[in-house]
Structure 1
Amino acid sequence: MDKLRRRLPSMNSLFTFEAAARCGNFSKAAEELNVTPAAVSRMVSRLEEHLDVALFARQAGGATLTGPGRILFDAIARGFSGIENALREIEDHKTGIETVTLSVSTGFTTHWMMPRMADFKRTFPTVDLRFQLVMGELAGEVHDVDIGMRFVSAPDPRHEAADIMPEILIPISNADYRENHLRHRGDSRDIDMLADPDDRHTAWSSLFFAGEGADSTRFDSMNFLDYAIVVQAALLGQGVALGWLNVVAHWLRTRALVPAGTRVTTTQRRCQFVRSRRKPLRPIVTAVQDWIIAELRHDVSVVDALYPELELGNIVGGKA
Structure 2
Amino acid sequence: MDTLRNFGSSMNSLVVFEVVAREKSITRAANELNVTQVAVSRMIVRLEKALGTQLFVRSRAGLVLTDDGLLLERGVTEGFGFIKRAVSDIKQRQQRTQTVTLSLSSAFIAYWLMPRYQRFQSAFPEISLRFHVISGVLQGSADEADLALRPADQRRKSQQSWTFTPEVIVPVCSPSYLESHGPLDDARDLPKHTLIELVPTTINWESFQERVGMVGTVSGDPLIFSDYALVLQTAMIGRGIALGWVSGVSYALRTGQLVPASRHVVTTGRQYELISGQRPARPEVERVKEWLVAEMEADLQEVARMYPVLAKPEPPRGLDQPVST
1:188 is displaced (CA, Å) by 8.3
For residues 190 and 167 of structure 2, what CA distance do their matches in structure 1 show?
A: 33
Matched with 1:108 is 108
- Using the TM superposition, name which of 285-294 and 75-84 deviates more: 75-84
Any conservation in 1 of the 2:196–2:241 contact (CA below 8 Å)?
Answer: yes
Any conservation in 2 of the 1:208–1:264 contact (CA below 8 Å)?
Answer: no
Matched with 1:199 is 201
For residues 114 and 289 of structure 1, what CA distance do their matches in structure 2 show?
A: 16
Structure 1: runs of 5+ lacking an equivalent: 316-320
Specify whether residues 187 and 276 from structure 1 end up closer, same or farther in structure 2 by C-alpha distance, changes over 3 A only: closer
Residue type matched to 2:194 in 1? D
Any conservation in 1 of the 2:236–2:258 contact (CA below 8 Å)?
Answer: yes
Matched with 2:264 is 263
1:150 is displaced (CA, Å) by 0.9
1:47-86 alignment runs, 5 A limit: 47=47, 50-51=50-51, 52=53, 54=55, 60=61, 72-73=72-73, 75-86=75-86
For residues 142 and 256 of structure 1, what CA distance do their matches in structure 2 show?
A: 31
1:149 is displaced (CA, Å) by 1.2
Matched with 1:210 is 213
Matched with 1:318 is none
SS of the counterpart of 2:179?
Answer: helix
1:145 is displaced (CA, Å) by 2.1
Specify whether residues 117 and 189 from structure 1 end up closer, same or farther in structure 2 by C-alpha distance, changes over 3 A only: same
- Using the TM superposition, name which of 12-21 and 230-239 deviates more: 12-21
Specify whether residues 209 and 25 from structure 1 end up closer, same or farther in structure 2 by C-alpha distance, changes over 3 A only: farther
Any conservation in 1 of the 2:56–2:63 contact (CA below 8 Å)?
Answer: no
**CA offsets, 1:53-87, max 9 Å, x none?**
54688553x66777766665555444444433433
Matched with 2:319 is none
Residue type matched to 1:302 in 2? E
Any conservation in 2 of the 1:56–1:69 contact (CA below 8 Å)?
Answer: no
| TM-score (normalised: structure 1) | 0.81
1:268 is displaced (CA, Å) by 4.8
Larger radius of gyration: 2
**CA offsets, 1:224-261, max 9 Å, x none?**
12111111111111111111223212111222111111
Matched with 1:238 is 239
Any conservation in 2 of the 1:92–1:99 contact (CA below 8 Å)?
Answer: yes
Residue type matched to 1:196 in 2? L
Q: Over the residues paired in the alignment, what is the CA RMSD in angstroms?
A: 3.4
Specify whether residues 101 and 183 from structure 1 end up closer, same or farther in structure 2 by C-alpha distance, changes over 3 A only: closer
For residues 114 and 101 of structure 2, what CA distance do their matches in structure 1 show?
A: 15
Structure 2: runs of 5+ lacking an equivalent: 316-325
| TM-score (normalised: structure 2) | 0.80
For residues 259 and 166 of structure 2, what CA distance do their matches in structure 1 show?
A: 20
Specify whether residues 154 and 189 from structure 1 end up closer, same or farther in structure 2 by C-alpha distance, changes over 3 A only: closer
Residue type matched to 2:99 in 1? T
SS of the counterpart of 2:222?
Answer: strand
Paired residue total: 312
Residue type matched to 1:195 in 2? E
For residues 72 and 264 of structure 2, what CA distance do their matches in structure 1 show?
A: 50
Any conservation in 2 of the 1:138–1:151 contact (CA below 8 Å)?
Answer: yes
